[in-house]
Chain A
Amino acid sequence: MILAVLFANSDGNILIERFHGVPAEERLHWRSFLVKLGSENLKGSKNEELHVASHKSVSIVYTTIGDVCLYIVGKDEYDELALAEVIFAITSAVKDVCGKPPTERLFLDKYGRICLCLDEIVWQGLLENTEKDRVRRLTRLKPPVEP
């Protein structure tokens, strides 16, 4: 299960957060834990360089894309390797929507489209689509191109 997908700006303000199977009372804890993790490790890190950590039985993969930090938390079958696939799908889709690694402003300008991409990639804690062209077409309700 992918427990959380969270976008934050470089100050740690949440832009998008999606939790799956995490009780409401634990979300605040996760939010502050992830933002703290990012503030300690993402400063000065390269764009889209993946960082990885494990906390108890869950894995966390996180990165920066433009001015935005992205965190993904998973457990069981979604270990660091599967999460790396998920985060790659999300960062590709975001870059595709924004045309480049986004500034915070650009990210917010494309907010609706990014929400749709996220909805296509992760659905209720499961990875559904991975390929950015396909995701782009799906957010416009167009069928995927046959390979």
Chain B
Amino acid sequence: MPRSLAGGDLAVPEMAQPYMKKDDDDEDVEYSPFFGIEKGAVLQEARAFHDPQLDVRRCSQVITKLLYLLNQGETFTKVEATEVFFAVTKLFQSSDAGLRRLVYLMIKELSPSSDEVIIVTSSLMKDMNSKTDMYRANAIRVLCRIIDGTLLTQIERYLKQAIVDKNPVVASAALVSGIHLAQANPETVKRWSNEVQEAVQSRAPLVQFHGLALLHQIRQNDRLAVSKLVSSLTRGSVRSPLAQCLLIRYTSQVMRESSMNTQNGDRPFFDFLESSLRHKAEMVVLEAARKITEMDVTSRELTPAITVLQLYLSSSKPVLRFAAVRTLNKVAMTRPLAVTNCNVDLESLMSDQNRSIATLAITTLLKTGNESSVDRLIKQITNFMSDIADEFKIVVVEAIRSLCLKFPLKYRSMLNFLSNSLREEGGFEYKKAIVDSIVTLISEIPDAKEIGLLHLCEFIEDCEFTYLSSQILHFLGNEGPRTSDPSRYIRYIYNRVILENATVRASAVSTLAKFGALVDTLKPRIFVLLQRCLFDTEDEVRDRATLYLQTLSGEVPIGNDEKDAKDFLFGSFDVPLANLEASLRTYEPSEEPFDISLVSREVRSLPLKEKAAPGKRPPAAAAAPAPVSTVDAYQKMLSSIPEFSGFGRLFKSSEPMELTEAETEYAVSVVKHIYDGYIVLQYNCANTIEEQLLEDVTVCVDASDAEEFSEICSKPLASLPYNSPGQVFVAFEKPEGVPAVGKFLNLLKFTVKEVDTTTGEADEDGVEDEYQLEDFEIVSSDYMLRVAVSNFRNAWENMDPESERVDEYGLGVRESLAEAVNAVINILGMQPCEGTEVVPKNARSHTCLLSGVFIGNVKALVRLSFGLSGPNEVAMKLAVRSDDPEVSDKIHEIVASG
């Protein structure tokens, strides 16, 4: 193998040693220059760096070996790294350019510690001021990699010079170093603004690119400055396509931010984006198209971008096809009609060699396709599914589910597709995605129920996943008995009792019992099957069989009648498990049995972290225990106070609300406890002044703006020492079951006594004083418990349609659709269901489902349909169903007044 072996050549001929590829035959012997390389031996060789007469070629070879070791993931101990580093610094003596370049790389790779850096800084500083441009560029890069903030200020002057150096390599080195340094030393780098500004005007494309990136980084928190930057550059000429892409991103960011602040819909830079669609660099065109599609534009403005993307779908370059189809896929999520014109090109991409492109094409088509093309699409996808990985298949299955919900009449072919997919090989996540999809389709499309259930039954005949079998059995138990011929499912269920593991057997027993409870004709036969389960080897299965046999035969009374027995079998478990667990933990074994009805139904959000500065102020709500059991704890605490023990059952307790600013001398928060006919205000008070003791602490409540409330009693606090919080209570009577609202003004009154901090003793005489607290209101959402339902659709249909009240509201101009949705959720204080509180980006309409329990234990469900008209003008349709039509009206009143 002839090779030039000039000084400094990095080829490594004499290192070549036989290197046998593991699986190859003898004649395929290959030689690896690094075969048998050992760290210890290479470190020994590195001693050559100390030779007074440096052998440049040998040193280069040793450095190459060291680099190979590092690139293979080999690590050096601290001592080894230090030794190598010191040795490498000796190589600065050589003036060989090739070796010097390797030395720069090696120092960066070794990243020496701060105490070692000093050894090499003088050499690097010398190089940084060298007349040789390339020494300067490399020295800058190495220095910026290894120095800290103090050294940076010493070399700052040189870096600023380098940024405007006429050699583009030096300028780029300084600019890229600036981008890295700005993360740890933003203030220093900010001072280079003028030089960077000059670099942005450079004729060298890469200098312009790096300059623009750094300038944006320096100014990113100053909206006006970024806007000015964009404004000047969009008028001028940007040479580098890379810089042009950056400019497009910054421009769209400026447009997005300015559209939030102005309502007139002006988009000053839109012409720039549009003209970028005609740029000669493909990268720029695609970036511009992508940004336009992400904006809130009219169909007319969107069309040129879509046309450009469509052209790239048939590009010979896979990256361009991928970028185009990925962008179109995103557009199809929010504006499927805009992408319909690309369907023919997308269909041809389904056979693309690159599976990522093919999958994106399919999922896009599934979003844009019309009803007539569904069958053809499904057929094409079936051929495609066998040769893609599970993660792609899951994406396709989810897209099929959405498509089926869009075109419910096509359920048959789509269920067949899903059922065929169930029979194919695949992992748990994939199978779960299919089962979830079938379950969703059955729940949403009534006609699909029977055929869907049979597909699921066939699947559990040969299902290797216990979790999925149990899930399907549970679902079958709820849906199967209500079909036209429930008996057809029994065989599949009982087969599970015979063939499966204990978990699945137990689930099957429960499912059988549900059929027995609902289908009278099947009951005697179910009895026989359940009796067979009494001899199961697993006690859980036997116990369930025994319980259900006795329940169904009426031997064990569950409630008062058959309806109660059915509720027992079918009733959704409406107690949040976390609350149940917390209540069970606090339950002390006694004569009194545990009462599940006392467990709070309210879904609690995670506790907010205490805002108080640590050490300075004890948390005002310190008395309140962990959030899940808070309601239990409040109930217990309030019922132990004689004045409040006759108030009945506590309906709801609010989160503590701060009535004082942070860092003030007294910290007070209020918790609103709501009863049917009363409210109790619990003021959590804390004294943060060590030199004071407060006594006779009361809260004077002015309820003149809350007419329906009348104060009945108050429970003051005898003493409030430093760092030991206490509570003051004030109780009000209000009309029974009425969600009265009003504003409460509060004044903290007390006697202050001075405390000698050395002895801890307080003066005998005190001074009366008062402290103004913030006002707060009792609002309608205080009468609403956040209670989730597991299946909103079922719950909605089970409620009397007569109770439904529908009306439309204009919400005016809002910041965004998501902000409007959140505002309404907060006004109502209800629990969002099925993740509908999350509004997809760029959505023009959204439906949000809420559930809750209103005071008087009235269940209420809300469907909110939001739509955007004009620039951020939000309209809302509100439909409410509840156990009591009056509550439906009341919820409308709350929204109307909110």
Judging by beta carbons under 8 Å apart, are A111 and B64 in contact? yes
How distant is B48 from chain A, measured CB to nearest CB, in Å?
15
In the complex, A52→B152 CA distance in Å?
A: 40
* Pair A144/B168 contact, Cβ less than 8 Å: yes
B242 & A110 in contact (Cβ 8 Å cutoff): no
| Contact indicator B354/A51 (Cβ below 8 Å) | yes
Q: Is there contact, CB below 8 Å, between A52 and B172? A: no
Judged by a CB distance under 8 angstroms, whether A23 is at the interface is: no
Cα distance A79–B291 in the bound complex, in angstroms: 13
Q: In the complex, are the beta carbons of A115 and B11 less than 8 A apart?
A: no
State whether the Cβ of B249 lies closer than 8 Å to any Cβ in chain A.
Answer: yes
Question: Is A128 part of the contact surface with B, judged by Cβ < 8 Å?
Answer: yes
A27, B701: Cα distance in complex, Å = 62
Neighbour of B71 across the interface among A15, A138, A141, CB < 8 A: A15
In the complex, what distance in Å separates the CA atom of A119 from the CA atom of B210?
16
- Docked-complex contact A81 and B323, CB < 8 angstroms: yes
Q: Does B624 contact A (CB under 8 A)?
A: no
Q: 8 Å CB contacts to B: which residues of A15-50? A: 15-18, 40-41, 45, 49-50
CA distance A119 to B64 in the complex (A): 13
Quick check: which of B128-136, B265-273, B542-550, B778-786 contacts chain A, the rest being far away?
Answer: B128-136
Instruction: Return chain B residues, CB-CB under 8 Å to A113.
Output: 10
Is A85's CB within 8 Å of the partner chain B?
yes
CB-CB < 8 A to B283: which residues of A? 81-82, 84-85
Interface string of B13-33 (1 = CB under 8 A from A): 100000001100000001111
Q: Are A141 and B287 in contact (CB under 8 A)?
A: no
Q: CB distance A140 to B97 under 8 Å?
A: yes
Contact A143 B176, CB 8 Å, known A17-B73, A81-B286, A82-B283: no
Contact (A112, B72) CB under 8 Å given A80-B322, A81-B283, A141-B100: no
Say whether, besides A82-B283, A141-B138, A110 and B11 are in contact (CB < 8 Å): yes
A112 and B64 contacting across the interface, CB-CB below 8 Å: yes
Q: Say yes or no for B638: interface residue by CB 8 A criterion.
A: no
Contact call B326/A109, Cβ cutoff below 8 A: no
Asked if B773 is an interface residue, CB under 8 A from chain A, the answer is no
B101 touches A116 (CB 8 A): yes
Beyond A51-B354, A109-B33, A123-B141, whether A116 also contacts B105 by CB under 8 A is: yes
Looking at the assembled complex, report how far the CB atom of A99 sits from the nearest CB atom of chain B, in whole angstroms. Answer: 11
Let me know if B206 and A40 touch, CB within 8 A.
no
**Does B319 lie within 8 Å of A119, measured CB to CB?**
no
Contact string, A125-147, partner B, CB cutoff 8 A, digits 1/0? 01111100010001111111000
B428 close to A (CB within 8 Å): no
- With A111-B64, A140-B98 given, is the CB distance from A77 to B356 under 8 Å? no
Known contacts being A50-B318, A112-B60, is A80 close to B323, with CB within 8 Å?
A: yes
B residues less than 8 Å from A53 (CB atoms): 356
Which residues on A sit within 8 Å (CB–CB) of B176?
Answer: 123-124, 126, 128
Tell me the A61-89 residues at the B interface (CB within 8 Å): 61, 77, 79-85
Taken together as a complex, chains A and B put the C-alpha atoms of A124 and B182 apart, in Å, by 14
Residues of A within 8 A of B356 (CB): 52-54
- Within the assembled complex, what's the spacing in Å between the Cα atoms of A143 and B179? 23
Residues 26 to 44 of chain B near chain A (Cβ within 8 Å): 30-34
Known pairs A40-B389, A85-B242; A128 contacts B172 (CB<8 A): yes
Minimal Cβ-Cβ distance residue in A for B30: A105
B32 touches A81 (CB 8 A): no
B246 within 8 A of A: yes
Q: Is B12 at the interface (CB under 8 A from chain A)?
A: yes
* Interface status of A104 (Cβ within 8 A of chain B): yes
B102 within 8 A of A: yes
Closest to B180 in A: A124
Q: Closest approach, in angstroms, between the C-beta of B204 and any C-beta of chain A?
A: 9
Query: Do A138 and B134 touch across chains, with their CB atoms under 8 A apart?
Result: yes
A45-B318 Cα distance, complex, nearest whole Å: 12
Q: B67 near A50 (CB under 8 angstroms)?
A: no
Chain A, residue nearest B203 (CB)? A147
Q: From residue A106, how far is it (CB to closest CB) to chain B in Å?
A: 9
Q: Is B771 on the interface with A (CB-CB < 8 A)?
A: no
* A130 partner residues in chain B, CB cutoff 8 A: 206
Q: A143 contacts which chain B residues (CB < 8 A)?
A: 133-134, 167, 169
A112 touches B10 (CB 8 A): yes
B323 touches A141 (CB 8 A): no
Kindly state the separation between the CA atoms of A128 and B68 in the bound complex, as whole angstroms.
23
B147 → chain A, closest Cβ, in Å?
14
CA distance A84 to B64 in the complex (A): 28
Whether B145 contacts A52 by the Cβ 8 Å rule is no
With an 8 Å Cβ cutoff, the count of chain A residues facing the other chain is: 50
Most chain A C-beta atoms within 10 Å of own C-beta, residue among B61, B318, B320, B357 = B318
Q: Is the CB of B11 within 8 A of A109?
A: yes
By beta carbon, the residue of chain A nearest B389 is A40
**A81-B286, A111-B67, A127-B242 known; A52-B318 Cβ under 8 A:** yes
Once A105-B30, A123-B141, A141-B134 are accepted as A-B contacts, the answer to whether A84 and B206 lie under 8 Å apart by CB is no
Nearest residue (CB) in B for A106 is B1
Please tell me if the beta carbons of A126 and B179 are within 8 angstroms of each other in the complex.
Answer: yes
Q: Kindly supply a per-residue 1/0 record for chain B positions 101-124, scoring 1 wherever the CB is within 8 Å of any chain A CB and 0 otherwise.
A: 110010010000000000000000
Residue of A nearest to B173 (CB): A128
Q: How far is the CA of A117 from the CA of B356 in the complex (A)?
A: 30
CB distance from A109 to the nearest CB of B (A): 5
B376 at interface by CB-CB < 8 Å: no
> B671 at interface (Cβ–Cβ under 8 A)?
no
Instruction: Tell which of A40, A82, A84, A144 touches B245, judged by Cβ atoms closer than 8 Å.
Output: A82
The distance in angstroms between the C-alpha atoms of A138 and B249, with both chains bound, is 31
In the complex formed, the residue of B with least CB distance to A17 is: B71
Contacts of A105 in B (CB 8 A): 30-33
Distance from B829 Cβ to chain A, minimum over Cβ atoms (Å): 35
A134 proximity list for chain B (CB < 8 A): 169
Cβ of B317 within 8 Å of any chain A Cβ, yes or no, is: yes
Q: Name the residue on B nearest A16 (C-beta).
A: B71
CB closest residue in chain A, given B96: A141
Instruction: Using known A-B contacts A41-B355, A123-B141, determine if residue A50 contacts B167 with beta carbons closer than 8 Å.
Output: no
When chains A and B are docked, how far (Å) is the Cα of A14 from the Cα of B74?
Answer: 12
Task: Tell me the complex Cα distance, A49–B353, Å.
Answer: 11
The docked-state distance in angstroms from the alpha carbon of A43 to that of B242 is 32
The answer to whether the Cβ of B63 comes within 8 Å of any Cβ in the partner chain is yes
Pairwise interchain contact B135-A141, C-beta atoms closer than 8 A? yes
Nearest-neighbour CB distance to chain A for B342, whole angstroms, equals 19
Residue of A nearest to B205 (CB): A130
Shortest beta-carbon distance, B240 to chain A, in Å? 9
B contact residues around A18 at 8 Å (CB): 71
- Interfacial residues of chain B within 155-207, with CB under 8 A of chain A in the complex: 167-169, 172-173, 176, 179-180, 206
| Alpha-carbon separation in the docked complex, A104 to B355 (Å) | 28
A129-B71 Cα distance, complex, nearest whole Å:
21
In whole angstroms, how far apart are the Cα atoms of A17 and B32 in the complex? 18
Tell me the nearest residue of chain B to A79, going by C-beta: B323
Complex: chain B residue closest to A45, CB-CB: B353
Distance, CA A9 to CA B132, complexed state (A):
38
Set of chain A residues within 8 Å of B134, measured between Cβ atoms: 138, 141-143
Q: Mark A89-119, 1 if CB is under 8 A from B, else 0.
A: 0000000000000001100111111011001
A138-B169 contact in complex given A85-B283, A105-B30, C-beta closer than 8 Å: yes
11 A-B interface contacts by CB (under 8 A): A49-B318, A52-B322, A61-B319, A81-B286, A108-B33, A112-B67, A115-B105, A116-B10, A126-B180, A141-B138, A143-B169
Binding site for A on B (CB under 8 A): 3, 10-13, 21-22, 30-34, 60-61, 63-64, 67-68, 71-73, 97-98, 100-102, 105, 108, 132-135, 137-138, 141, 145, 167-169, 172-173, 176, 179-180, 206, 210, 213, 242, 245-246, 249, 282-283, 286-287, 317-320, 322-323, 326, 353-357, 389
List of 7 A-B pairs having minimum Cβ-Cβ separation, nearest first = A112-B10, A112-B64, A141-B97, A141-B134, A84-B319, A52-B322, A81-B283
Q: A109-B3, A116-B105 are in contact. List 8 more A-B contacts (CB 8 A).
A: A14-B72, A17-B73, A40-B389, A111-B10, A115-B64, A116-B101, A126-B210, A130-B206
> Which A residues fall within an 8 A CB radius of B?
11, 14-18, 40-41, 45, 49-54, 61, 77, 79-85, 104-105, 108-113, 115-116, 119, 123-124, 126-130, 134, 138-144
